[in-house]
Chain A
Amino acid sequence: MSVTREQVAKIAALARINVDEHELDRMVPEFNNLLAWVEQLGDVDTSSVEPMTAVIEQKLRLRADVVDADPLTGGGRRDAILANAPAAEHGFFGVPKVIE
């Protein structure tokens, strides 16, 4: 399988990364080289194999049903959460206009 310039541009749009024409020139052959190389995985017979779901099998734990059981990941940390925001205002994350 190989991808066209338009497809790479679409993938970049899906990934929310602006790419210019110059970058596309470079990316399309790189992309196709990589895809041609990973294509060899198709040679492996996996008809009776389940995809791996966990590297180390273990049961997913439930946390204790307690408010703020861990103070680091609990609530009441608004200012710490906003501390690195590029445009925090009035205790919220600021964003540009969302609706047209």
Chain B
Amino acid sequence: MTNLTDLGVKAIRDGVASGAFSAVEVAEAFNANVAAASALNAFIVTTPDHALEAAKQADEARAAGKPAGLMAGVPIGMKDLFATLGVQTTAASHILEGFTPQYESTVSQKLWDAGAGMLGKLNLDQFAMGSSNETSYFGNVISPWRRNDGGNAALAPGGSSGGSSAAIAARLCPAATGTDTGGSIRQPAAFTGIAGIKPTYGRCSRWGIVAFASSLDQAGPMARSVEDCAIMLEAMAGFDPKDSTSLDMPVPAWSTSLNADLRGKKVGIPREYRMDGTDEEILKSWDHGIAWLKDAGAEVVEISLPHTKYALPAYYIVAPAEASSNLARYDGVRYGLRDLPDGAGLQDMYAATRAAGFGDEVKRRILIGTYVLSAGFYDAYYTQAMKVRTLIRRDFDAAFEKCDVILAPTTPTASFPLGDKVDDPLAMYLNDVFSVPASLAGLPAMSVPCGLNKDGLPLGLQLIGNVFDEQGVLNAGLAIEQRAGFTAAPERWW
């Protein structure tokens, strides 16, 4: 008998549709894995009943001969940044602890409409600010992966979608939602040997997603195969009038148009991504990726993205600036925590509530954002960063005149032990050096697993496409997936 929790999105959906097993059996199997994995701390709350109810409906719809949705019978994990009706939504913060949305986010509603069910709300970095899942108020997520040196050091699952990446790698769910502001889907996917795609900015509605930096925030799927990501992205994407930056375009049939034959395609290799300090094994995996894409028929061309080194500092002005504005809403009045010291007035209550409710990294970013937007500094910092952002976008526009898709590493290193970088914010930010440029330019980008390093830890390769060209990204990702033959899974210790 197949182990149901080893199956991915497509295998589950098709198995339910053919009657090989029932959706309820699948939900029960994943619920059991979730319940047995509390050592990973991947979930903030679990919702086994939600998963079972959706599964029952999928089974009943099949019995009644009704057409099945794209995700019919597939239980998934939901990053706890998506508002879910009647289920606590915290953004992994104390200030939103106990917050129970009275509405459903557009993306999660679309997934339920497609027949998916929810296993629980996944842990993350607080307000999606972090690269190691160590800023959550509800504790660190532990990667299911361990180094092959016999040591049991707890490793980072990446961030901010660290609960999502850990849960998928550990077979607690076949797929999960993620959100990506500067790399929060791609970096955790790379750290845990799974795939994940951030679509073009505007493909997935931001309505009902707790806001971090609105000009960068994009939702996307995380799963163990490129095809599963394509299926789930189709279910998540689509125009939403409730999001003013939502793309009013039809959703392509990405999953059924997948094609790993890259003959006639050009793959760009950005020379500025060969940076000092990048791990030798990462550079080697990049060379493998180049060879695989050539083998798939693509022509490889060198390209230049001259402003690459300015992307990360520009990001750390733009994202905190937007965060300081977005997070002004947490005031102890309308929802969430209220800290009202004896005799305090309104202003004192704001300041006490926000001091008690935000973690250190969130405070750090709000303060930086407040500073760069303040009178006298706005032009020197914020306006300059937005001009550099224009130049970064122009770099990509010029590059895509010479190539169809760009191949680069996802991260400069493999996963690192928890605690290694928490005292050095800058070292932590450098994790996103390869992922932030595509975010600033609003481009679709994905990470696919490409192998293990000498420590037995997964590495990922990143594909960046032109605006609206998720298909090109997915196709090149599929070509790599087929040649990398990545089948490694973490050994169960939890």
Instruction: Please list the residues of chain A having a beta carbon within 8 angstroms of any beta carbon in chain B.
Output: 1, 3, 8, 11-19, 27, 30-31, 33-34, 37-38, 40-42, 44, 46, 49-56, 58, 60-61, 63, 70, 72-73, 77, 80-81, 83-87, 93, 95-98, 100
Does B201 sit within 8 A of A, measured CB to CB?
A: yes
Top 4 A-B pairs, shortest CB-CB distance: A55-B442, A51-B386, A86-B338, A84-B335
A40-B346 contact, Cβ under 8 Å, with A56-B200, A86-B336: no
Number of chain B interface residues as a range: 35 or more
**Is the Cβ of B367 less than 8 Å from the Cβ of A15?**
yes
Does B94 reach chain A (CB closer than 8 Å)? Answer: no
- How many Å lie between the Cα of A32 and that of B442 in the bound state? 29
Which residues of B approach A to under 8 Å, CB–CB? 99-100, 102-103, 200-202, 215-216, 241-242, 244-245, 247-248, 307, 309-310, 313-314, 316-317, 324, 328, 331-338, 340, 344-347, 349-352, 354-355, 358, 363-364, 366-368, 370-371, 374, 380-381, 383-391, 393, 425-426, 441-442, 467
A31 and B367 CA atoms in complex are apart in Å by 9
Q: Can you list 13 residue pairs at the A/B interface with Cβ under 8 Å?
A: A8-B367, A33-B426, A34-B316, A37-B426, A38-B313, A41-B381, A49-B390, A52-B386, A55-B215, A56-B442, A58-B248, A84-B100, A95-B333
Question: Known contacts A52-B386, A56-B245, A70-B242: does B310 contact A44 (CB below 8 Å)?
Answer: yes
Check A49 against B367 for contact (C-beta < 8 Å).
no
Residues of B within 8 A of A34 (CB): 316, 368, 425-426
Docked-complex contact A84 and B103, CB < 8 angstroms = no
CB distance from B311 to the nearest CB of A (A): 10
CB-CB under 8 A for A40 and B310, given A16-B354, A17-B355: yes
Chain A contacts of B426 at CB under 8 A? Answer: 33-34, 37
Given contacts A11-B370, A83-B100, A98-B345, contact A30 B425 (CB under 8 A): yes
| Bound complex: CA A43 to CA B333 (Å) | 43
- Contact between A83 and B349, CB atoms less than 8 A apart: no
Distance between B363 CB and nearest chain A CB, rounded to angstroms: 6
Label chain A's interface by main secondary structure. Answer: loop
A47: nearest chain-B partner, CB-CB? B387
**Contact, CB under 8 Å: A72 / B103:** yes
> Is the CB–CB distance between A61 and B244 below 8 Å?
yes
Establish whether residues A17 and B363, one from each chain, have CB atoms under 8 Å apart when the complex forms: yes
If A14-B370, A15-B367, A97-B345 touch, does A87 touch B338 (CB 8 Å cutoff)? Answer: yes
Q: Which of B347, B383, B387 has the most CB of A within 10 A?
A: B387
In the complex, which residues of chain A have a beta carbon less than 8 angstroms from the beta carbon of B316?
34, 37-38
| Distance to closest chain B CB from A32 (angstroms) | 11
Q: In the assembly, what is the distance between CA of A52 and CA of B79, in Å? A: 30
CB distance from A10 to the nearest CB of B (A): 9
Q: Flag if A41 contacts B335 (CB, 8 Å).
A: no
Q: Indicate whether A52 sits within 8 Å of B393 (C-beta atoms), given known contacts A15-B370, A83-B100.
A: yes
Q: Contacting B364 at CB < 8 Å: which of A1, A27, A41, A46? A: A27
B355 touching A11, Cβ below 8 Å:
no
CA of A79 to CA of B354, assembled, Å: 25
B323 CB, min distance to chain A CBs, angstroms: 11
Q: Is the CB of B370 within 8 A of A84?
A: no
| A20, closest chain B residue (CB) | B355
Residue of B247, B336, B352, B384 near A42 (CB, 8 A) is B384
Chain A min CB distance to B397 (Å): 12
Give the contacting residue for A96; candidates B202, B340, B354; CB below 8 A: B340
Q: Which residues of A contact B344 (CB under 8 A)?
A: 96
For A41, A54, A60, which residue has the most chain B Cβ atoms within 10 angstroms?
Answer: A41
